[in-house]
């Protein structure tokens, strides 16, 4: 790590539009190293867009983002991306092993073939508890398993920051270590940013919560108020959270 | 039945169909998994403009086709970077533009009207030995590219955005993939013609994808299926006196339906 005291992620006056549609409006957010933050907001609120800007996949129209002090393009090696699993084409003929190995590609020289038996693959699959399905086709996996495969693929390059897009599929995994425990243990040595439209599902996990719907509301804490949610979702709270009382979200057990 | 191989043109046809099967099995696998069949159609049809240009200026039309399909591939990859909107519309326009340009060039060509049917629908029996060498050269290029960059191409066809985030030169790889598609479609023009190219590029891989567990296997299966379809089609066209391109496509489509029925029954 170049400088542990720099914020992991720094977003300054960021605005972004798709053609004429303003999707992110003057976002400011600083995420310190080893933080675990959840960003909630309705579908279409700009969560995926924000992650893509952090990854350098989209360029801001205004403002800037910094990853450990530099542009995303310069510090890609610190970022691990776990895209939304439900967007995947599960008919692609590829095994779990090969998907995970893909995460190493950026580190080999261009055109250098990857070693077929890479010990790192077994190591990260062990972490996400998928060792037994290493040779399965991705088409045979459940949503939750695919989600973990994508996490393993991100982990294999030892990122410092993990960005997860709507990882709610694995939350109900019944066997083994829970998704919650997995993220907690990863959080010991990396910053985690998790975005989701599902307040109930993510509030149990994260240590801090921000609300995003074109604009971002964040008080550097886990406390979110009825006002924050209403401002974000543009509808009365009891419609979206079945009457979640004020600040209930810092109690983890409350999900329906 | 092997008396047909006493003819040089039949030997050439056979060699050509095997060589072409290698290229379209490999590139077709990427085209199918990446779902760029329509883009490939655009690239191959634009080549018609180059064929017209060849006739107009008096050079081998296949080089014209090569030039135009390469320009088409570069145009598509450039355009994709600029805007993701209306990509399919622009490809459709380019497609029609190439075809129209070809027709006009041929109208303007002096002398007799050339036999365009063989470019539109293919005629494997008229393949000269020089084209065989060209095919061999293109095959070797494609095989080498895929040998060295298999994982990189797999990454961009499986998950392009992730490929960016690990620092792969995605745009370059995508452009190279489209260029390989362009080369392959030109290879196939003599075989089945511009209009039927998409079918031969996509059908073997579309069949194979139901039975394989890796991209590598998909390529091997597609190459083998391509060879079978070509050779069987060639025999049928010879004995029944039918156009070779259309017969090869018919055989491929019958193969596709047999496979679809088979997987239905298995399910
Ligand atoms: N590629 C795109 N082109 C145009 N508009 C887009 C594109 N991707 C997303 N949008 C629009 O941007 C807005 C934010 O989308 P997104 O970031 O995906 O929201 P979320 O992830 O919070 O559901 C939506 O209105 C969506 O329709
Ligand atoms: Mg989203």
So what's the pLDDT on residue A119?
A: 85
So what's the pLDDT on residue A223?
A: 66
So what's the pLDDT on residue A203?
A: 72
Residues contacting B241, CB < 8 A, separation 6+: none
- The residue of chain A nearest to residue B167, with distances taken between CA atoms, is A106
User: Which ligand has the nearest atom to the CA of A46?
Assistant: 1
C-alpha pair distances (Å), A70 with each of A29, A157, B113: 15, 19, 63
* B87-124 residue pLDDT tens: 788 899 999 999 999 999 988 988 766 677 778 888 87
B266 belongs to a structural domain = no
Q: What is the rounded CA–CA span in Å between residue A42 and residue A137?
A: 33
Secondary structure of A33-71 in HEC code, one letter for each residue = CCCEEEEECCCCCCHHHHHHHHCCCCCCCEEEEEECCEC
B85 belongs to a structural domain = yes
Coil/strand/helix, residue A193: strand
Work out the minimum CA distance from A35 to partner chain B, whole angstroms.
21
Chain B positions touching A93 (Cβ under 8 A) are 33, 209, 212-215, 217-218
Choose one of A19, A46, A83 to mutate for the ligand 1 pocket test, by most ligand atoms within 8 angstroms of C-beta. Answer: A46
Chain B positions touching A74 (Cβ under 8 A) are none
* A16-31 residue pLDDT tens: 999 889 999 999 999 9
Domain that includes residue A225, residue range: 9-254
Residues contacting A214, CB < 8 A, separation 6+: A22, A23, A24, A25, A45, A46
Interface of B with A in 24-53 (CB under 8 A): 33, 35
B79 belongs to a structural domain = yes
Q: What percent of chain A has pLDDT over 70?
A: 76
So what's the pLDDT on residue B126?
A: 79
ipTM of this complex prediction, to 2 decimal places: 0.88
Cβ within 8 Å, pair B155-A105: yes
Split into its structural domains, chain A has a count of 1
Question: Alpha helix (H) ranges present in A79-208?
Answer: 96-102, 119-127, 143-155, 179-187, 199-203
Q: What percent of chain B has pLDDT over 90?
A: 65
Among A82, A93, A105, A112, most B C-beta atoms within 10 A, so best to mutate, is A93
Q: What is the rounded CA–CA span in Å between residue B10 and residue A104?
A: 48
Domain that includes residue B60, residue range: 2-260
Phi, psi of B84 (to 5 degrees): -90, -10
Choose one of A15, A16, A17, A18 to mutate for the ligand 1 pocket test, by most ligand atoms within 8 angstroms of C-beta. Answer: A18
| Contacts of B133-140 spanning 24+ positions with Cβ under 8 A | B134/B62, B134/B187, B135/B16, B135/B19, B135/B20, B135/B23, B135/B187, B136/B19, B138/B23, B138/B183, B138/B184, B138/B186, B138/B187, B139/B19, B139/B22, B139/B23, B139/B187
- The residue of chain A nearest to residue B218, with distances taken between CA atoms, is A93
Quick one: pLDDT band at residue B82, thresholds 50, 70, 90?
confident
Cα of A18 vs centre of ligand 1, distance in Å, is 8
Question: What are the respective helix, strand and coil percentages of chain B, to the nearest 5?
Answer: 85, 0, 15
Angle at B167 between CA B163 and CA B169, to 5 degrees: 75
B265 belongs to a structural domain = no
Quick one: pLDDT band at residue A243, thresholds 50, 70, 90?
very low
Q: Any residues with Cβ below 6 Å from ligand 1, and which? A: A 18, 23, 41, 43-49; B 84
| pLDDT for residue B128 is more than 90 | no
Residue B255 sits in a domain whose CATH number is: 1.10.3470.10
* A164-221 residue pLDDT tens: 998 875 555 555 557 778 888 999 999 999 999 887 777 777 888 899 999 998 877 6
Cα of A147 vs centre of ligand 1, distance in Å, is 21
The number of angstroms, rounded, from the C-alpha of A73 to the middle of its chain's C-alpha atoms is: 18
So what's the pLDDT on residue B113?
A: 65
So what's the pLDDT on residue A255?
A: 38
A4 belongs to a structural domain = no
Split into its structural domains, chain B has a count of 1
* B205-256 residue pLDDT tens: 999 999 999 999 999 999 999 999 999 999 999 899 998 888 999 999 999 9
So what's the pLDDT on residue B207?
A: 97
Q: Which range has highest mean pLDDT (B78-82, B101-105, B129-133)?
A: B101-105
Q: What is the rounded CA–CA span in Å between residue B164 and residue A55?
A: 9
B267 belongs to a structural domain = no
Residue A205 sits in a domain whose CATH number is: 3.40.50.300
B149 belongs to a structural domain = yes
Cα of A84 vs centre of ligand 2, distance in Å, is 7
A2 belongs to a structural domain = no
* B32-51 residue pLDDT tens: 999 999 999 999 999 999 99
So what's the pLDDT on residue A100?
A: 96
Joined tokens for residue B126:
């008229």
B234 belongs to a structural domain = yes
Length of chain B: 267
Q: Taking an 8 Å Cβ-Cβ cutoff, which residues of chain A contact chain B?
A: 19, 52, 55-57, 76-77, 79, 81, 83, 88-89, 91-95, 98-99, 101-103, 105-107, 110-111, 113-114, 137, 153, 157
Q: What is the rounded CA–CA span in Å between residue A135 and residue B207?
A: 22
A3 belongs to a structural domain = no
Q: What is the rounded CA–CA span in Å between residue B133 and residue B153?
A: 26
């Amino acid at each position: 790590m170049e400088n542990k005291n720099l914020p992991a992620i720094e977003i300054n006056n960021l605005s972004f539009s798709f053609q004429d549609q303003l999707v992110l409006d003057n976002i400011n957010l600083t995420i310190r190293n080893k933080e675990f933050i959840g960003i909630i907001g309705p579908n279409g609120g700009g969560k995926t867009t924000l992650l893509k800007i952090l990854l350098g996949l989209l360029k801001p129209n205004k403002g800037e983002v910094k990853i450990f002090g530099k542009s995303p393009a310069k510090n890609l090696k610190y970022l691990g991306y776990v895209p939304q699993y439900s967007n995947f084409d599960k008919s692609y003929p590829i095994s779990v092993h090969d998907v995970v190995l893909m995460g190493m590609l950026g580190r080999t020289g261009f055109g250098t073939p990857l070693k077929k038996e890479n010990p790192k693959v077994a190591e990260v699959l062990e972490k996400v508890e998928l060792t037994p399905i290493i040779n399965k086709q991705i088409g045979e996996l459940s949503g939750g398993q695919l989600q973990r495969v994508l996490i393993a693929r991100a982990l294999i390059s030892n990122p410092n920051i993990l960005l997860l897009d709507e990882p709610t599929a694995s939350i109900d995994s019944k066997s083994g270590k829970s998704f919650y425990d997995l993220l907690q243990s990863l959080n010991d040595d990396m910053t985690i940013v998790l975005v989701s439209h599902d307040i109930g599902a993510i509030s149990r996990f994260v240590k801090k919560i921000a609300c995003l719907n074109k604009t971002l509301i964040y008080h550097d804490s886990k406390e979110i108020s009825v006002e924050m949610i209403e401002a974000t979702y543009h509808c009365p709270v009891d419609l979206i959270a079945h009457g979640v009382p004020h600040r209930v979200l810092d109690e983890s057990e409350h999900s329906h | 039945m092997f008396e047909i191989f006493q003819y040089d043109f039949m030997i050439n046809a056979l060699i050509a169909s095997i060589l072409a099967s290698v290229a379209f099995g490999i590139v077709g696998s990427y085209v199918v998994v990446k779902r760029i069949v329509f883009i490939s159609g655009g690239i191959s049809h634009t080549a018609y403009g180059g064929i017209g240009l060849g006739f107009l200026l008096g050079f081998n039309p296949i080089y014209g086709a090569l030039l135009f399909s390469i320009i088409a591939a570069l145009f598509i990859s450039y355009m994709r970077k600029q805007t993701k909107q209306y990509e399919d519309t622009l490809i459709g326009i380019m497609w029609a533009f190439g075809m129209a340009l070809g027709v006009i060039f041929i109208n303007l060509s002096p002398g007799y009207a050339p036999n365009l049917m063989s470019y539109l629908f293919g005629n494997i029996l008229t393949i000269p030995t020089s084209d065989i060498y060209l095919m061999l050269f293109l095959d070797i290029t494609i095989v080498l590219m895929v040998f060295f960059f298999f994982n990189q191409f797999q990454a961009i066809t499986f998950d392009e955005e992730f490929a960016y985030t690990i620092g792969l030169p995605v745009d370059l790889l995508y452009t190279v993939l489209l260029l390989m598609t362009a080369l392959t479609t030109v290879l196939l023009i003599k075989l089945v013609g511009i209009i039927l190219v998409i079918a031969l590029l996509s059908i073997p891989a579309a069949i194979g994808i139901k039975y394989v567990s890796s991209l590598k296997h998909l390529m091997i299966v597609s190459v083998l299926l391509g060879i079978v379809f070509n050779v069987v089609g060639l025999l049928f066209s010879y004995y029944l006196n039918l156009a070779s391109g259309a017969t090869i496509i018919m055989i491929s489509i019958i193969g596709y339906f047999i496979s679809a029925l088979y997987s239905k029954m298995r399910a």
